[in-house]
Structure 1
């Protein structure tokens, strides 16, 4: 259960948890991009109807 006491958005408690999760996911993606090795192949994923564009490849 996330600690939502620091979420300052004027929304209900459940939505505060969602805001916090999305923020953490964005930080994780940014950290991963910043620390990736230059020149390695990159895969970009997008989701449609609950399925990933890579088809769960490797």
Structure 2
């Protein structure tokens, strides 16, 4: 479970980087807005924290 928590945390950091750097991402020539990265960051961070706590309880 710790590995999953760490992976979700790393993905959350990647989404946070996209929010801060705001690179232009194109899908089929259309720009992708930044707001989905904010939602993804919150969701991934919540999953990471949740799994980390579950792993602590399991020990």
Give yes or no for TM over 0.5. Answer: no
- Ranked by relative contact order (alpha carbons within 8 Å, sequence separation 6 or more), the top structure is 2
Which protein has the bigger helix share? 2
Structure of higher CA gyration radius: 1
